[in-house]
Copies of this chain bind each other. A is one copy, B any other.
Amino acid sequence: MTKNIDLKEYWENKPQLLPSVSIDCVTLGFHNNQLKILLLKYKNTGYYALPGGFINLDEDLEDAAQRILEERTGLRNIYLEQFHVFGSNNRRNDDTHREIMAGCDIEIKPNNFLLNRFISIGYYALIDFTKATPSPDELSDSCMWYDLDKIPTLMFDHNEIFRKALETLRTMLDEKLICFNLLPETFTMNELQNLYETILGEKLVRSNFQRKMLSLGILERIEKKMTGAANKAPYLYRFVGEAY
């Protein structure tokens, strides 16, 4: 159990972290025409949670969020956006923290960093599913993608955090061209439309959607994509607009 001894040391003498502040990330990907969210499952407890973490005392908030997600996805320079701070007074979860740690054979001492009230800064991340390689942290045994309509009950207020993230994403979809962060380098118009439809939760008219997208002047048409299906092959497109 050398690993657990290291962990023990780490969590018992938690290094210099900014008190009271945590980060939780609603990490979205798009695959098989489905929006997916990245979730952790803690060891031996059955608790599901959003990937999250704390801020080093000498670290920018944004850097912390990037670091936390880099550790879970292997990606750098992720599209990350703050959407809300969750700061209700009842965000104290001593017992849950103890349970989670106990699941890793770690005992939390009375004055531990974790046994305090935390506010959580919510970030949503839009990432290219094909490039991410999810990996669990030391406290969890899985880090996996879940369909948005199959999200299990999450720890603390994490279900609410997800709901708010999706709400913000919906309103932002019209404001900024952010959804291309969810697609691979090249994609078909159909995939793009499916993405819009899943985020907005409504069907769009194909021909009008295509007209609208093409009129924005942000798509470069590449070669055709021979799907092998018994029908006309769609074009591939590349996003050439201003990156977010």
CB-nearest residue of chain B to A55: B87
Interface-located stretch among A57-65, A70-78, A136-144, A178-186:
A57-65
Q: A48-62: contact bitstring with B at CB < 8 Å (1 yes, 0 no)?
A: 000000010111111
Number of A positions contacting B (CB below 8 A): 25
A20 interface contact, C-beta 8 A: yes
A62: B residues at CB distance < 8 A: 87-88
Q: Which of B59, B60, B87 meets A61, CB within 8 Å?
A: B87
A153 interface contact, C-beta 8 A: no
Counted per complex, copies of this chain come to 2
CB-nearest residue of chain B to A123: B85
A18 interface contact, C-beta 8 A: yes
A18 to B84, CA, bound (A): 18
Q: A84-97: contact bitstring with B at CB < 8 Å (1 yes, 0 no)?
A: 11111100000000
CB-nearest residue of chain B to A118: B18
A135 interface contact, C-beta 8 A: no
A85 touching B121, Cβ below 8 Å: yes
A19: B residues at CB distance < 8 A: 19-20
A21 interface contact, C-beta 8 A: yes
